[in-house]
Amino acid sequence: MKIFLNGYMGSGKSHIGKILSESMGYPFVDMDDQIEIMEGRSIHEIFQKKGELYFRKLENEVLKDILASKSEMIVSLGGGTPCYGNNFDLIKEDPENRTVYLKASVEQLTSRLFLEKVHRPVISHLDTKDQLEEFIRKHLFERAFYYNQSSIIVDVDGATPTAIVENIKSKLD
């Protein structure tokens, strides 16, 4: 079984993925890390030098490589991964795969992301919390269709990482 964690940036996919991986004994794969290794540069640099379309093509290639693997694993998807091309359909093709939406509120995401926006190429240009909140609301509205197709939905607001992991594990059967 492969477990794919999805949700908006800042929802905790990488952090929760690592804890879930340790808890279940499955290897952990972070898609953004895999893309950076493949390209030899940071996501931020890829966006700056090659653009989002190039990044999305890389993302699709990495996803296909992960799906071709016969290994069990926990995979942290990029926030936009399920929303581009046929990525989410590819994941759902295998009935053994599980998708988990780490659902965070706009307020929670704004609070988390404002502190780290300089490291996030998609939002680095937004100067105020109000601009960031409006951006997140728009994106979540556009992406909710995909995120809500997940086989498991976990509300992460106010929950500890341990509680989130236990919640996911209880819904995997």
Binding-site members for Mg(2+) are 14
Binding-site members are 10-15, 32, 56, 79, 120, 143
Binding-site members for ATP are 10-15, 120
Mean residue pLDDT across the chain: 94
The pLDDT of residue 173: 67
pLDDT band at 31 (very low <50, low <70, confident <90, very high): very high
Helix 31-39 with 43-50: angle, nearest 10 deg: 60
State which residues form the domain around 119. 2-171
Binding-site members for substrate are 32, 56, 79, 143
Number of domains present in the structure of the chain: 1
Give dist(CA 9, CA 109) in Å, integer.
8
Average pLDDT over residues 108-137: 90
Position 23 pLDDT exceeds 80: yes
Domain of residue 30, CATH code:
3.40.50.300
pTM of the model: 0.94
Which pLDDT tens digit goes with each residue over 79-93?
999 999 999 999 999
More confident residue, 67 or 52: 67
Report the candidate in 77, 82, 34 with the shortest Cα–Cα distance to residue 43: 34
- What is the side-by-side strand order in the sheet with 152-155? 28-30, 73-76, 2-6, 98-103, 152-155
